[in-house]
Structure 1
């Protein structure tokens, strides 16, 4: 299987970045580099990331002076050495066979860009049902108006460059815009693999509140286009680090 560049964006993730890097060190597919792009964190995120340099020999940590989700992903893509890209958030968790399974499916289906489902095996029944509904929506929209979870997106340098990367002017759903534009040139699909992420976002915002927010956002995008002026008054970077 081909090598891959993994771009991890961070902002004050000292309590979570180590878990993800540990998961990456245990992957059955080890032909990859990891690029941690840190948005000038105020905590020990970069120090902890550097601590995994022995476990991950192809690890680099890049500090940005400015903050921004899309800026971080685009910065990491520019630094990447390999054609295949994987964009991850710092609070993602991966099974040991994640890369092996995902790369096999990407190559078998000849996909340039693909989304990944959210796993909820260790969560309550309510969360599992909610995740199931959300994943069903990701699958259904992939055929006509692709949406994705930005915490875990596969791409390639060719695709990334041709669509000019993530749109840094978009304030909400920049990940969905990315895969929508990519799907205009390449076939886009969801991979039948899953990742997990820290449920603090759901717990702090409220499961149904967050779900409704993203449903409204994507309905608005479908009819009115992308949001570049925080039209829904969404508060960013507000999650507590507990």
Structure 2
């Protein structure tokens, strides 16, 4: 299988980054590097990450002076050594066979850019219902108005460069804009694989289950009718989640 560059963006994630890095340590697929791009955290995120370098020798850590989701992902992509890219948020979890299944699915389906479904198997029933509806939306829209979860998104350096990367002027749905633009050149699909990624529900807990769903529904309807939001009309602050 081809090598993989994993770009992880962080902002004050000292309590969660170790979980993701531990998941990467035990992956069955080993041909990857890790590029951790930190948005000038105020906590011990970088120190925690450094503790995993003996177990992930191909991991590099880069601290930015500015903060930004798209800026972090674009910075990591520029630093990547391999063509195949995986963008991850710091609060996701991966099963040991995730990378092996994903890379195999990418190659078998000839996908340049691809999304991944959320898994709720370890979460309460209310989340299972919500995640199932969300995944259904991802599945349905991939054919005519692609949407994605930037917390776990595959691309390539070639595609990323031709797209001009993530739009750093978009605060909300920058990931959806990315895959929508990608779909104009390449066939974009959600990965048909048995292993989804686990998404930390703290965002739903702290912002509100229904409120969060309504926010993204509103944002994507706005995008469908009027295009992307580059003027901050729906504010969304990077890293606003409290520790729980």
TM over 0.5: same fold? yes
TM-fit CA distance, 1:197:
2.0
Q: Is the 8 A contact 2:159 2:182 kept in 1?
A: yes
- Following superposition of structure 1 onto structure 2, how do residues 92-107 of structure 1 map, counting pairs within 5 Å? 92-107=92-107
CA distance in 1: counterparts of 2:128 and 2:147, whole angstroms: 20
Aligned counterpart, 1:211: 213
For each residue in 1:60-117, what CA deviation from the matched residue of structure 2 results, as whole angstroms up to 9, or x when unmatched? 0000000000000000000000000000000010000000000000000000000000
Which consecutive unaligned segments of at least 5 residues does structure 2 have? none
Determine helix, strand or coil for the equivalent of 1:178: helix
**How far 1:237 moved relative to its partner?**
2.8
Q: TM-score, normalised by structure 1?
A: 0.98
Give the aligned partner of residue 38 of structure 2.
Answer: 38
Name the CA shift for 1:236/1:84 in 2 (closer, same or farther; >3 Å).
closer
Number of residue pairs matched by the alignment: 242
Matches within 5 A, 1:45-194: 45-192=45-192, 193-194=195-196
Tell me the secondary structure at the aligned position of residue 88 of structure 1: strand
Per the TM alignment, residue 210 of structure 1 is displaced from its structure 2 partner at its CA by 0.3
Structure 2 distance, partners of 1:96, 1:207, is 29
TM-score norm. by structure 2 comes to 0.98
Paired residue for 1:228? Answer: 230
CA separation in 2, counterparts of 1:239 and 1:57? 30
Runs of 4+ residues over 6 Å off in structure 1:
none
CA distance in structure 2 between the aligned counterparts of 1:4 and 1:235, rounded to whole angstroms: 29
Q: 2:221 and 2:214 mapped to 1: Cα distance?
A: 10
Give me the whole-angstrom Cα distance separating, in 1, the residues matched to 2:242 and 2:61: 24
Distance apart, 1:124 and its partner CA: 1.1
Q: In structure 1, list runs of 5 or more residues that go unmatched.
A: none
Task: Tell me how large the CA RMSD over aligned residues is.
Answer: 0.8
CA contact under 8 A between 2:68 and 2:238: conserved in structure 1? no
Per-residue deviation at 1:235? Answer: 4.3
SS in 2 for 1:8: strand
